[in-house]
Amino acid sequence: MKQTVLITGASSGFGLMLANKLHAEGHTVIGTSRDPQKYAGKVPFKLLRLDIDDDASIEAFPSELFQHIRKLDVLVNNAGYMVTGLAEETPLDVARQQFETNFWGTVKVTNAILPYFRKQRSGKLITVSSIVALIGPPNLSFYSASKHAVEGYFKSLRFELNPFNIKVSMVEPVWFKTNLGSNAVTASSGSIADYDTYRRKANAATQKGIDDAEAPDAVVAKISDLVNAKEPKFSNPVGKMVGMFLFLQSYAPKMFEGSILKSVSKAA
Ligand SMILES: NC(=O)c1ccc[n+]([C@@H]2O[C@H](COP(=O)([O-])OP(=O)(O)OC[C@H]3O[C@@H](n4cnc5c(N)ncnc54)[C@H](OP(=O)(O)O)[C@@H]3O)[C@@H](O)[C@H]2O)c1
């Protein structure tokens, strides 16, 4: 069935690929960007302005959205970015901003759309979380914490939305080639000399993850399956190694932690 889908962060990466795919399949797609003018005439779907850090932008958004569509079937919470760096060296304002976008921005957009989903007694909320919401790699503490927060929030919220026939799903990708790496904020101040060697190795290990990333098609296909599914699953990890990571973490935690420590010690 053709659906009307709102995708935040549709100017780049997963959001852009997903919007193009769903549009080509005949769904009605509305995407968002902080600067839609930059992409005018370059995307086949409607791109509206939304800054998920800005309360006024979010408050004004639904009335603009419903000038273009009558009914919304699916919200894909995709907009986000990544802070990298050692936790103790990360300035608190940088860490707070990571939560402001990835956690609070996602919560606020969800709250802006939920009244419409409740009123129509249907809707699908799909949120792009991350494998770092299920495991905790070094050098990504605040990114990982922001995604754990998102995951925990929707884990609870899904039960509250059950009476309204609103389905909630998370997508938890490993590393995929998008602009996430080039848009990342590198937060290590380099101020604590004790970390000098570890910082170099941890940065190299993070960079290796970004460099070795998979093509994003599997994530886009997974989200597209969830858009079309009657009974979408809540948790949807995606990536070649994801099954092994989660298996080892649950059933061989020492081996799993050892492999993370080794990947950093071997780097650079
Ligand atoms: N790539 C990966 O390996 C990976 C793995 C796990 C999870 N993820 C998650 O996947 C999602 C999409 O990221 P991506 O990998 O596709 O990266 P990307 O290519 O950098 O795309 C990020 C998108 O988010 C939007 N965005 C960023 N900050 C925003 C803000 N404050 N307000 C509104 N929009 C904002 C950007 O739009 P504008 O700049 O046009 O506003 C852009 O369209 C993110 O939530 C990311 O954490 C990515």
**Residue listed under structure tokens 């797609």:** 29
**CATH topology (fold) of 4-197+215-240:** Rossmann fold (3.40.50)
Express each pLDDT in 198-209 by its tens digit.
Answer: 999 999 999 999
Is the Cβ atom of 178 under 6 angstroms away from ligand 1? yes
Question: Which residues, at least 6 apart from 206, have a Cβ–Cβ distance to it below 8 Å?
Answer: 84, 139, 140
Q: How far apart are CA 136 and CA 207, in angstroms?
A: 16
Per-residue exposure over 131-164, b if at least 16 CB sit within 10 Å of its own CB, e if not: bbbbbebbbbbbbbbbbbbbbeebeebbeebeee
Alpha-carbon gap, residue 59 to 110, rounded angstroms: 11
- The predicted pLDDT at position 104 comes to 98
Is the shortest distance between the CB of 211 and ligand 1 below 6 Å? no
Q: Say what the pLDDT of residue 267 is.
A: 85
Kindly give the distance from the C-alpha atom of residue 101 to the centroid of ligand 1, in angstroms, as a whole number: 10
Q: Say if ligand 1 is within 6 A of residue 79 CB.
A: yes
Is ligand 1 within 6 A of the CB of residue 34?
yes
Q: Give nearest CA residue, ligand 1 atom 37.
A: 9
Mean pLDDT by 10 residues, the chain (268 residues): 97 98 98 97 97 98 97 98 97 97 98 98 98 96 98 98 98 98 92 94 94 97 98 97 94 94 87
Ligand 1 centroid – CA 181 distance (Å): 10
Distance between CA atoms of residues 177 and 163, nearest Å: 38
Closest-lying ligand 1 atom to the alpha carbon of residue 10: 43
What is the reported pLDDT for 40?
92
Listed by start position, the domains of the chain span 4-197+215-240
Instruction: Out of 108, 124, 147, 167, pick the active-site residue.
Output: 147
Query: What is the C-alpha to C-alpha distance for residues 129 and 143, in angstroms, rounded to an integer?
Result: 10
